[in-house]
């Protein structure tokens, strides 16, 4: 709540909520709070007045009502059309639900701190989300095993470009009358696999055969013509059984209703007819390749995101030699499990960004405690499932307890260690994560993050049982559970805002929790798979080849350009295991733990040696252990049977080449190259010949006759 120009317009909904307007005004600091009782009807002029005032001042208006949001937006449009009555600048208007989430509750009289927290959250400016565009021309592929596929195709043939493929046993015909009018081509074939997304599906079909045009009493097919691929924009799978895709409900453009459920089939057909044109889909995950710890030099390290992705949207970028993964934004369904589990922050949730979630946590819990709230319980939920349960509790039961603060996210599985620990650091006693039972099988990654957060807190002396994943469909059961939660005690509340990447944010939160821990420890062992830890290196077996340094994606392992040395920064290690699988000597083991001392942030020398000196020129190069290891492995190789060849391993790169050229029997040896002849050479030879001729002439003249 940093923008003083925001105005809160709070309505007690015909006095069905016992609101403390004076308390809210005090809790909202410098923001103006206007009270109303029947804002959407008899007091609509108050909304118009404040909207006009906010628009003229260039401010924003936060209306504490979501049920009548369409009416308020329509009123704004009418004000703009009215001309003179419209504000000079259209105001920013946000809506927040305080009725079902706080005011309609058996503990509504004590809910002022929670309402203040909800208003503070609504005052935040939400970052814009990026999107990708899906394009569909309405090409539909209907898969089936009987006449129901033909009936479905017939219903949408006028609106969609439809093709039917019937998955029938080899040589079998279909005991239905052939269509009088061929509205959609019909084939027999066996779908084997499918890839793609809305607007770009490819289905591999074996034993492809067209329907006979001359079929009379039953639908018959020609001879199979082999295999092929069918390209389409949409798929209606009425085969029953195993779907073409994992998590089929998350694949845009793919529908596989139970063919025995006519209502479900009709709903699918209705949805299909609307999927023609261009559609914007959120880009749920931002990815930074340079931070990815998946692979180096063809060796695999971290696979957390690949293991958790329910849709198969994450794959190695270059199969066989990938150094990072690739996330297909067209297939990604936005569960966020990859972002929650990613140890480096290479995969970061973008709807909204993870940093904004931390800002929301700080704002909500800070406002709650600032208004006098105690024992905060954060109820994390998605809007699709959680809002419906909260609404049911408020209308038919006791509603949410006053200390239970609803915290809506796009998907609960997007939460990672940073958000879970930040909630506790900012004063939440508990974090209850409400999941849909239909998505219970997708919470494995979230459960692992919660278990790790629990292990860290209990290891520092905090009371356990702070994180709970509850898959619930029954509002009465959820309500009873929330009212029965026992206190857990708050941590000393942090006021900082964790900025930077995920790793930086987690380290800042951990330092706060350690400083205020009931029983702080310097070294805290963690379960296997934790993204924090050290390395255990068998120094005697290490040859300082430094392969591990080249493989480390976070530069936790480093060398020294001036001497053979292996150094390690524990705070940078994410326990991806690339160093372990890369090490040719297999002397590295992972040690998951948290080191809260300053030593974890400073380079530690694991092994160092004096450099080996070239036996020919004395130049230092390499490490002695490396040279000796190579020599011991190659001494029995026939290529190094000559002692001189083995000695070259002890030479620097320059001397090694020189020594090879001096070898008498080396294949590249040749005689000295003759010097080129010049004009001077020819003149000198001519003078020499003339001198010799004169000398011979003189000798003849002196010879007696």
Specify which residues 314 forms β-bridges with. Answer: 327
Q: Are 323 and 482 in contact (CB under 8 A)?
A: no
The CATH number for 283-349, chosen from 3.30.70.20, 3.40.630.10, 3.20.20.140, 3.40.50.300, is 3.30.70.20
Residue 87: per-residue pLDDT: 46
The CATH number for 133-280, chosen from 3.50.50.60, 3.40.190.10, 3.30.70.260, 1.10.150.120, is 3.50.50.60
The span from the CA of 90 to the CA of 110, in Å, is 36
Least-confidence region, from 269-278, 642-651, 664-673:
664-673
Residue 354: per-residue pLDDT: 83
Phi, psi (deg, nearest 5) at residue 448: -65, -40
Residues 370, 372, 373, CA angle at the centre, nearest 5°? 100
Residue 86: per-residue pLDDT: 46
Least-confidence region, from 26-40, 82-96, 117-131, 227-241:
82-96
Output the pTM of the full model. Answer: 0.85
Closest C-alpha among 395, 410, 407, 393 to residue 482? 393
Q: Are 252 and 313 in contact (CB under 8 A)?
A: no
Question: What is the greatest pairwise CA distance in the chain?
Answer: 157
Residues 6 or more apart in contact with residue 56 via CB below 8 angstroms: 87, 88, 89
Question: Any alpha helices (H) in 296-405, and if so which ranges?
Answer: 304-308, 337-341, 354-370, 383-396
State pLDDT tens for residues 455-501.
999 999 999 999 999 999 999 999 999 999 998 888 889 988 887 88
Q: Are 374 and 402 in contact (CB under 8 A)?
A: no
State pLDDT tens for residues 140-168.
999 999 999 999 999 999 999 999 999 98
CA dihedral 43, 45, 51, 54 (to 10 degrees): -100
State pLDDT tens for residues 523-577.
999 999 999 999 999 998 898 889 999 999 999 999 988 888 999 999 999 999 9
Least-confidence region, from 453-462, 622-631, 651-660, 678-687:
622-631
Q: Which CATH architecture has domain 523-608?
A: 2-Layer Sandwich (3.30)
Identify the H or E element spanning 229. Answer: strand 228-232
Residue 74: per-residue pLDDT: 93
The span from the CA of 358 to the CA of 362, in Å, is 6
Res. 1: pLDDT tops 50: no
pLDDT category of residue 189 using cuts at 50, 70 and 90: very high
Residue 149: per-residue pLDDT: 95
State pLDDT tens for residues 414-435.
999 999 999 999 999 999 999 9
Residues 6 or more apart in contact with residue 111 via CB below 8 angstroms: 102, 103, 105, 402
Q: What does CATH list as the number for 354-515?
A: 3.90.190
* Burial of 419 (C-beta count, 10 Å sphere; 0-12/13-18/19+): buried
Tokens at 390, concatenated: 């909260």
pLDDT category of residue 124 using cuts at 50, 70 and 90: very high
Instruction: Kindly report the average pLDDT of the chain as a whole number.
Output: 90
């Amino acid at each position: 709540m940093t923008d003083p120009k925001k105005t809160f317009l709070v309505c007690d909904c015909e006095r069905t909520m016992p609101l403390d307007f004076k308390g809210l005004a005090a809790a909202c600091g410098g923001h103006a709070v206007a009270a109303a009782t029947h804002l959407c009807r008899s007091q609509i002029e108050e909304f118009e007045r404040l909207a006009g005032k906010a628009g003229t001042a260039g401010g924003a208006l936060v209306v504490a009502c979501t049920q009548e949001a369409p009416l308020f937006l329509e009123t704004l449009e009418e004000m703009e059309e009215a001309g003179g009555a419209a504000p000079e600048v259209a105001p920013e208007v946000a809506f927040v639900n305080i009725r079902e989430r706080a005011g309609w509750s058996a503990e509504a009289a004590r809910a002022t701190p929670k309402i203040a927290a909800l208003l503070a959250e609504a005052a935040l400016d939400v970052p814009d989300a990026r999107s990708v565009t899906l394009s569909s021309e309405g090409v539909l592929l209907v898969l089936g095993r009987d006449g129901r596929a033909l009936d479905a195709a017939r219903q949408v043939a006028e609106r969609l470009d439809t093709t039917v493929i019937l998955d029938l046993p080899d040589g079998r015909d279909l005991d239905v009358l052939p269509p009088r009018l061929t509205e959609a081509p019909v084939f027999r074939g066996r779908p084997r696999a499918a890839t793609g997304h809305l607007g770009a599906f490819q289905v591999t079909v074996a034993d492809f055969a067209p329907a006979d045009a001359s079929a009379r009493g039953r639908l018959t097919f020609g001879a199979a013509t082999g295999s092929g691929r069918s390209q389409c924009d949409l798929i209606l799978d009425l085969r029953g059984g195993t779907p073409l895709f994992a998590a089929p409900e998350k694949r845009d453009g793919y529908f596989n209703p139970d063919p025995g459920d006519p209502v479900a089939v009709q709903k699918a057909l209705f949805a299909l007819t609307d999927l023609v044109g261009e559609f914007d889909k959120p880009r749920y995950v931002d990815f930074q390749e340079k931070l990815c710890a998946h692979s180096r030099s063809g060796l695999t390290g971290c696979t957390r995101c690949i293991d958790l992705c329910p849709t198969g949207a994450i794959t190695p970028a270059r199969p066989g030699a990938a150094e990072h993964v690739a996330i297909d934004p067209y297939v990604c369904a936005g569960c966020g499990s990859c972002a929650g589990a990613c140890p480096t922050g290479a995969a970061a949730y973008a709807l909204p960004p993870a940093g904004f979630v931390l800002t929301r946590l700080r704002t909500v819990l800070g406002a709650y405690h600032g208004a006098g709230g105690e024992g905060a319980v954060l109820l994390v939920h998605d809007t699709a499932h959680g809002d419906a349960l909260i609404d049911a509790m408020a209308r038919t039961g006791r509603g949410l307890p006053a200390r239970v603060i609803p915290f809506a996210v796009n998907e609960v599985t997007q939460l990672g260690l940073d958000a879970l620990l930040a909630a506790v650091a900012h004063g939440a006693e508990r974090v209850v994560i409400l999941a849909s039972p239909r998505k219970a099988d997708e919470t494995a990654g979230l459960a692992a993050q919660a278990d790790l957060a629990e292990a860290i807190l209990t290891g520092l002396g905090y009371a356990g049982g702070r994180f709970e994943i509850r898959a619930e469909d029954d509002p009465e059961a959820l309500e009873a559970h929330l009212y029965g939660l026992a206190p857990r005690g708050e941590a000393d509340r942090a006021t900082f805002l964790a900025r930077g990447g995920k790793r930086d944010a987690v380290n800042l939160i951990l330092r706060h929790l350690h400083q205020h821990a009931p029983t702080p420890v310097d070294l805290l062992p963690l379960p296997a798979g934790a993204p924090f830890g050290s390395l255990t290196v068998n120094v005697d077996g290490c040859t300082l080849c430094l392969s591990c340094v080249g493989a480390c994606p976070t530069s936790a392992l480093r060398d020294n350009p001036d001497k053979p040395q292996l150094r390690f920064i524990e705070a940078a290690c994410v326990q991806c295991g690339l160093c372990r699988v890369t090490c040719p000597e297999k002397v590295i083991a992972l040690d998951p733990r948290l080191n809260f001392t300053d030593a974890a942030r400073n380079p530690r020398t694991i092994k160092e040696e004096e450099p080996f000196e070239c036996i020919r020129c004395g130049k230092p190069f390499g490490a002695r252990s490396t040279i000796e290891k190579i020599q011991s492995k190659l001494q029995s190789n026939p290529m190094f049977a000559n002692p001189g060849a083995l000695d070259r391993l002890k030479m620097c790169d320059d001397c090694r080449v020189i020594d090879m050229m001096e070898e008498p029997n080396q294949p590249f040896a040749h005689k000295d190259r003759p010097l080129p002849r010049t004009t001077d050479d020819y003149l000198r030879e001519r003078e020499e010949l003339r001198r010799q001729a004169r000398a011979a002439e003189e000798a003849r003249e002196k010879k007696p006759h």
